[in-house]
Amino acid sequence: MVDVGGKPRTERVAVATARLRMKPATVRRIVAGKVEKGDVLAAAQLAGVMAAKHTPDLVPLCHPIALSAVEVEVWTRRAGVDVRTEVRTVDRTGVEMEALTAAAAAALTVYDMCKSVDRGMVLESLQLEHKAGGRSGTWSRRARPSGRKKRKAPA
Amino acid sequence: MVDVGGKPRTERVAVATARLRMKPATVRRIVAGKVEKGDVLAAAQLAGVMAAKHTPDLVPLCHPIALSAVEVEVWTRRAGVDVRTEVRTVDRTGVEMEALTAAAAAALTVYDMCKSVDRGMVLESLQLEHKAGGRSGTWSRRARPSGRKKRKAPA
Amino acid sequence: MVDVGGKPRTERVAVATARLRMKPATVRRIVAGKVEKGDVLAAAQLAGVMAAKHTPDLVPLCHPIALSAVEVEVWTRRAGVDVRTEVRTVDRTGVEMEALTAAAAAALTVYDMCKSVDRGMVLESLQLEHKAGGRSGTWSRRARPSGRKKRKAPA
Amino acid sequence: MVDVGGKPRTERVAVATARLRMKPATVRRIVAGKVEKGDVLAAAQLAGVMAAKHTPDLVPLCHPIALSAVEVEVWTRRAGVDVRTEVRTVDRTGVEMEALTAAAAAALTVYDMCKSVDRGMVLESLQLEHKAGGRSGTWSRRARPSGRKKRKAPA
Amino acid sequence: MVDVGGKPRTERVAVATARLRMKPATVRRIVAGKVEKGDVLAAAQLAGVMAAKHTPDLVPLCHPIALSAVEVEVWTRRAGVDVRTEVRTVDRTGVEMEALTAAAAAALTVYDMCKSVDRGMVLESLQLEHKAGGRSGTWSRRARPSGRKKRKAPA
Amino acid sequence: MVDVGGKPRTERVAVATARLRMKPATVRRIVAGKVEKGDVLAAAQLAGVMAAKHTPDLVPLCHPIALSAVEVEVWTRRAGVDVRTEVRTVDRTGVEMEALTAAAAAALTVYDMCKSVDRGMVLESLQLEHKAGGRSGTWSRRARPSGRKKRKAPA
């Protein structure tokens, strides 16, 4: 675990997204609240928040850091579920891994709750969208081709 | 957490894969052992194994179960890293989530170790490939189009 | 941790309840979905389930056991929130502590989400209601005086 | 998890209490050191301290924070065991949940160690007594009716 | 994590010891109950029990298993503290690592509690003493030279 | 957990070592990469890093702190494996326990991976070598007798 002791504590943010593809019928079941295991979107949202706190247990070289905010949004599309996470800290290292871990856990929770009716679901993207703060400064993923542009959370 | 107490303990297996896309230069750096944080593939492999054991902490409705085997393979392609996990148990519920969680953690570990040189890496698929055992029986993902067929581990 | 290796694996169940007293205005806020931190009952329910799995980390002499079911119900009364948990296993030791821990965590989660508007909330009872299975057999709490009889989940 | 990044790091303290009611004979057994599982008060005290550190794993929206002190006192009454916890930090958010979680875990540990002889024990109160520091300032529970005034630790 | 699914569940036991060397004055302080942080032997004993349950989190390739008993003894010598642990399970793999991890954690806890007065303490042995059960059968450490024979717990 | 809230945040470091004695044939097997469970030194190194983060879960009175660096080196001798750990923080309390815990976990991981061929391995020393920072200042272990001087990592 590289030494970050010499870095100043600065405000940092990271945004990640995950996109889970599933059968439209599975989405309809989620929306209708007919998944036997419970409210899928609520569970995924909470699982994402809690997973952000577990990041240093999962990613060996991640520093344990004090997270100042974790926000997880989960919503349905016609044939899938999208996740957007935003994690903030005021610390010596970034929170990209926390944002990605939260997004992964939220998507895995959706998978878990729906797998009995749709085992073929695929997490077809999990990626960092944006980070700011720290020595390496701001980074944002370049615009994606139009077909995938809709990955914004609904207003 | 649904009641599995009435189910018999049977042998179960699940196989999952993850595919991380990155710049070919990043792959070359991994292969050459030039990633500052250490041996990427070895760390990812171990992180995957350990993450399988953390599954019930991450996925809210997963039962804690006794895993009898966790195998994680991680290898490079020209423009990415592939992960294949296989988890086994002799228990009342399946290990799909453990296999998926292990694959996700292995891929996230690769991302973490290489992110300073390639922040745009994308986990472009994380999916169950196969499961067997239990009431719902055997399930295998159908053959993928040829371009993606190479997702087998090297001999 | 006492030796349970000589006991047979048998089906066991434990039921616990928790009763959190708060201002009626706080209850109305929960019911109306106006708590800033989110859906209180859904979060408490999930927190209870996950906490059951953490029992051996919290209660030093608890055996780590394979839980076959965890059910957590959370509902509002006029001046409080009630929790009922039911945990099952097929193992060598009982699940009373898992049921109690789940109920405590669910109630603490309600407290956490509402504390900014009602810091005086009191967990006024946390208790085992019933257990069955194992060498010590079945135990049920005797009927309480009428004023507290309503602690059943709504139909 | 709400954003606390904009708040200053300030000194904060929270005090909580738990009151477990049991048969006087059970108390006498604890005091006489005749509980088969070991020294009940010592175990409860340590369990409380350790549980404070687990708070963010149990309460979904709790921030992980650096605790600067955790003090847990456990003592017997004629017909029960009382717990008082005091947690301190110098951070951006309060430690009420840590104090309550520590008190709950200490009480649950007493329950666990004595349950084979007294399954009917009831945690009849778990509550915040005092908090100070942070934007919301100081809060103290108002005096209780005389019958419950003895909840102070013995000198 | 090697596949143990094909092995039968059998009764297994492992015994480990740890020996911490310190200044006689430190031992006297422990015995007199004058260590500021509290009862050293009681804390070490409990820490050992709890650590046994954390073994799969610490030792990457350890299977998570259901422990049926964990016993930790901690006692003082003239110039040190000795630990003896005994762990039992009825499972498909042994508990050597659980016994060793428990002994290590107990010794580290003694170190932690006394380090402000004796930073030079040395854990001068941590070793498996005995194991039985499973395919590899019984193993016992051969008798040690007389000077170290006293490593038995006091009657 | 003693109150450290009044102490200033200062830079702190701790160095620990562990020495595991084993048969020369076991060492040769490690070096030749012929241990069935995988790359022993790589796994031990990573296990040490991860264990440092688990210290507050294992050592009851350890404060949870933000580690700024964890470095673990593992290398072979003719008849054993040596571990050296170095942990850094900028916090109110020291990292001696983190350094010792990391060294213990690394050594235990070596034991775990080699135990099927050499159950008699002994951890014959685990000790703090150096600490600096904080109110108690700098401490270094005095020179050891020549026979043990080689405990430095290879250049």
Matching residue, tokens 């108690």 = F136
Over residues F67-96, the pLDDT tens digits come to: 999 999 999 999 999 999 999 999 999 999
CB contact under 8 A, F4 and D69: yes
Tokens 């908090």 label which residue? D131
CA B139/CA B133 separation, integer angstroms = 9
Residue B36 CA to residue A140 CA, distance in Å, equals 23
Task: Domain of residue D32: give its range.
Answer: 10-141
Closest CA to C93 of C127, C122, C133, C121: C133
Distance CA C3, CA B150 (A): 51
Q: How many domains does chain A have?
A: 1
Tell whether C112 is within 8 A of chain A (Cβ). no
pLDDT band for position D144 (cuts 50, 70, 90): low
For the stretch F32-39, contacts whose Cβ atoms lie closer than 8 Å and that sit 24 or more positions apart, written own/partner, are: F35/F113, F35/F114, F35/F117, F36/E2, F36/F116, F37/E2, F37/E61, F37/F112, F37/F113, F38/B45, F38/E61, F38/F113, F39/B42
Per-residue pLDDT of chain B (155 residues; tens, 9 = 90+): 999 999 999 999 999 999 999 999 999 999 999 999 999 999 999 999 999 999 999 999 999 998 999 999 999 999 999 999 999 999 999 999 999 999 999 999 999 999 999 999 999 999 999 999 998 899 999 865 544 444 445 54
Are the C-beta atoms of residues E90 and E12 closer than 8 Å to each other? Answer: yes
Does the beta carbon of A46 lie under 8 angstroms from any beta carbon of chain D? yes
**Residues of C in Cβ contact (< 8 Å) with A45:** 38
- Scanning E11-154, the segments in alpha helix (DSSP H) are 24-31, 40-58, 96-114
Q: Is residue E109 part of a domain?
A: yes
Distance CA A73, CA A18 (A): 10
Strands (E), B5-104: 10-21, 67-77, 80-91
**A24 in a domain, yes or no?**
yes
Contact by Cβ (8 Å): E79, E27: yes
Chain C residues within an 8 Å CB radius of E90: 5, 92
Tell me which amino acid residue A58 is: L
Closest by Cα among E49, E81, C130 to D37: E49
B18 to chain A: nearest residue by CA?
A123
pLDDT at E143: 65
pLDDT tens, residue by residue, D95-110: 999 999 999 999 999 9
Q: What pLDDT sits at residue D142?
A: 87
Instruction: Give the DSSP letter of residue A143.
Output: P
Does residue A31 sit within a domain? yes
Alpha-carbon span C15 to B114, nearest angstrom: 48
Q: Which residue has the tokens 């690592």?
A: E97
β-pairing, B10-21 with B67-77?
unpaired
Q: Which chain E residues touch C3 with a CB distance below 8 Å?
A: 68-69, 88
Q: Taking residues F98-111, what's their average pLDDT?
A: 98
Query: How many whole angstroms separate alpha carbon C15 and alpha carbon C11?
Result: 14
Of F61, F100, F107, the CB nearest to E37: F61
More confident residue, A145 or A138: A138
The residue among A123, D13, A93 whose CA lies nearest residue B99 is A123
E82 carries an active-site annotation? no
Residues C96-109: b if buried by 16+ CB within 10 A, e if exposed: bbbbbbbbbbbbbb
Q: Tell me whether residues D64 and A69 touch, CB distance under 8 A.
A: no
User: What sign does the dihedral B47-B50-B52-B55 (CA atoms) show?
Assistant: negative
- C69–B64 C-beta distance less than 8 A: no
Asked if residues D85 and D102 have their Cβ atoms less than 8 Å apart, the reply is yes
C-beta atoms of B39 and F42 within 8 A: yes
* D16 domain-assigned: yes
**Shortest Cα distance from D62 to chain A (angstroms)?**
9
Q: List residues bridging with E140 in a β-sheet.
A: E130
E74 in helix, strand or coil?
strand
In angstroms, rounded to a whole number, what is the distance separating the alpha carbons of residues B116 and A2?
A: 12
Extended beta strands in chain C, E state: 10-21, 67-77, 80-91, 122-132, 139-140
Q: Estimate the share of chain B in helix, then strand, then coil, as percent rounded to the nearest 5.
A: 30, 30, 35
The Cα–Cα gap between F99 and A48 comes to 31
Nearest-by-Cβ selection for C49 from B60, B91, B92:
B60
Domain presence at residue D155? no
CB C89 within 8 A of CB D109: no
Residues of B classed as catalytic: 112
Residue given tokens 């290292």 in the structure block: A93
Residue A115 sits at the chain F interface (C-beta within 8 Å): no
Other C-beta atoms closer than 10 Å to the C-beta of F53 total: 22
Counts for chain D of helices (H) and strands (E), in that order = 3, 5
Answer yes or no: are the C-beta atoms of F122 and E122 closer than 8 Å.
no
What φ, ψ does residue D144 adopt, rounded to 5°?
-90, 160
Residues 66-105 of A with CB under 8 A from B: 96-97, 100-101, 104-105
With a cut of 50, list the residues of chain E below it in pLDDT. Answer: 146-152, 155
Confirm whether the ipTM is greater than 0.90.
Answer: yes
Q: What residues of C are in contact with residue B61 (Cβ under 8 Å)?
A: 49
pLDDT tens for A124-136 read: 999 999 999 998 8
The answer to whether B153 and B73 have CB atoms below 8 angstroms apart is yes
Q: Which residues of D touch F1 (CB under 8 A)?
A: 49, 52, 67, 69-71
Give just the sign of the alpha carbon dihedral E31, E36, E40, E43: positive
- Per-residue pLDDT tens, chain C, 155 aa: give them: 999 999 999 999 999 999 999 999 999 999 999 999 999 999 999 999 999 999 999 999 999 999 999 999 999 999 999 999 999 999 999 999 999 999 999 999 999 999 999 999 999 999 999 999 998 899 999 865 544 444 445 54
In a domain, E70, yes or no: yes
Question: Residue C67: what are its φ and ψ, rounded to 5°?
Answer: -80, 130
What DSSP string describes E9-28? PEEEEEEEEEEEE--HHHHH
Residue E148: predicted pLDDT: 46
Spatial distance between the Cα atoms of A93 and A66, rounded to a whole number of angstroms: 10
Percent of chain F with pLDDT over 90: 88
Mean pLDDT for the stretch of residues F131-141: 94
Rounded mean pLDDT, A45-65? 97
Residues 6+ apart with CB under 8 A from D143: D149
Q: Chain A: residue nearest F65 by CA?
A: A64
Residue B74 resides in a domain: yes
Please report, to the nearest 10 degrees, the dihedral formed by the alpha carbons of residues F97, F103, F107, F113 taken in order. 100
Rounded distance between C-alpha atoms, residue B109 and residue D117, angstroms: 49
C105 part of a folded domain: yes
Q: Rounded mean pLDDT of D63-86? A: 97
- How far is F63 from F67, CA to CA, in rounded Å? 11
Which CATH number belongs to the domain containing residue B61 in this structure?
Answer: 3.30.70.640
